[in-house]
Amino acid sequence: MTSGIELRSFDRTAAERSWVSRPETTRQLEQLIAEAPRAIARGAGLSYSPASFGPDVHVIDMTRFDRVLSFSPQSGQVTVEPGISVGRLTAFLADRGRYLPALPGYPRITIGGCLAFDIHGKSQAHSGNFSRWVESLVLRHVDHGEIHCSRQRERDVFELTLGGLGLTGIVTQVVLNTAPLQGSCVQVTTTLVSDLCEAAELLREQANTADISYSWHDLNLAKKQFGRGVVYIERFVPQTQSAHAELAERPLTAHVHLGVWNRLTTRPALALYGALVRRPSVRHVPLQQALFPIYGKEIYYALFGKRGFREYQVIIAHHSFPQFSCDLRRLLQASGVPITLGSLKVFQGEPRYVGFSGEGIALALDVPASRKSLQLFSAIDELVVRYAGVINLSKDSRVSAGLCERVLPGYRQFAAELRRFDPACRYGSALSRQIGL
């Protein structure tokens, strides 16, 4: 069934009317791929940027391709279709004593979406990005046919597809490596920190031993209180009763948009939240709740209203982070824009193509969408260029081709190799057009 409907980025700032098909069989999928002059795959539609729709693009909704095809108890490898959600796959694996360490924060996100953006989890420092756990995949391209690729076979196509924004074709199967699950419950240790730099230091110390680690900060506070917050260090622990139940697949996108976040409400709301979380503690939470911390907090996104929000996420080298955080504080406080979220994670590894990877501290911040927030983000862009940072395309719907050249070290190489592989540009989206691909 094909229909023309309006699709939006999850941050609600980008929208296009697109033709959407939802194939149920391989034959239907093959026919769609053959007939569409330009196409893009779509999973849960939860990317903050317009990566799964676009003008003159046929959107292929892959959510019916959601099966576990095989599992090896000996190796822990699992073969899945791209439309399966990470929540369903996590429940399947946990019942077998395994898990996928590189997980996004919400259970409805699909494996295909994780692959397209090479997402990171809350343990990137020792678990890497999603691509680290991909053993092989099957890709369909209208001009190249079916391609079976891995690091040993068709490696160039394999590497181009991992974090390739869905621009190399339609993935139909993925073989994933998994890790032993060391416990059915998670022990969460909460530590108070006075600022971003103290949090970054603590996260670095714990990076290789914690199963999960990240922080929360209030970036609306002035002077020495700026960035006050907490660091969460989480480790798997045994639990006698099962904690592996699959989370209900409720929509993350809200039908009601309240428009509450603004300059008057953000500071007292975050002060109240800070008072609740800024207590040193050790507690135990169920596995799925720890792995998917956004679940149950969907109201946060509804509070931005119909105008939506914007997120900026960047990796800054460890040695540059203290000065970067000082310069960022001055920008944020001069802007007058309310900051609804501030969070840090530790990253290790090298940048690759247009993916979000590298060595340093990853900072994420959310703001209500407005003209002032665009001006603020443009100012942060210049700061990020000065500090040679790397930005996250999946989190930012306003990035341009010019900015990509300045903040993504592998952008030009990716563009050149993609053009060699697919000179006709048979796969594309509003995002790919926006960033010159």
| 70 falls within a domain | no
| 129 falls within a domain | no
The residue segments making up the domain with residue 238 are 185-404
| 318 falls within a domain | yes
| 358 falls within a domain | yes
pLDDT of the residue at 398: 94
Tens place of pLDDT per residue across the chain (437 aa): 566 788 999 999 999 998 999 999 999 999 998 888 899 999 999 999 999 999 889 999 999 999 999 999 999 999 999 999 999 999 999 999 999 999 998 999 999 999 999 999 888 988 999 999 999 999 999 999 999 999 999 999 999 999 999 999 999 999 999 999 988 889 999 999 999 999 999 999 998 888 999 999 999 988 888 999 999 999 999 864 444 555 555 555 555 566 788 877 888 888 888 788 777 788 888 888 888 888 888 888 988 988 999 999 999 999 999 999 999 999 999 999 999 999 999 999 998 899 999 999 999 999 999 999 999 999 999 999 999 999 999 999 999 999 999 999 999 999 999 999 999 999 999 999 999 99
pTM: 0.93
pLDDT of the residue at 261: 80
| 417 falls within a domain | no
| Measured CA angle at 151 (ends 169, 95), to 5 deg | 85
| 359 falls within a domain | yes
The total number of structural domains in the chain stands at: 1
**Residue 258 is part of a domain; what is its CATH number?**
3.30.70.2520
| 283 falls within a domain | yes
| 46 falls within a domain | no
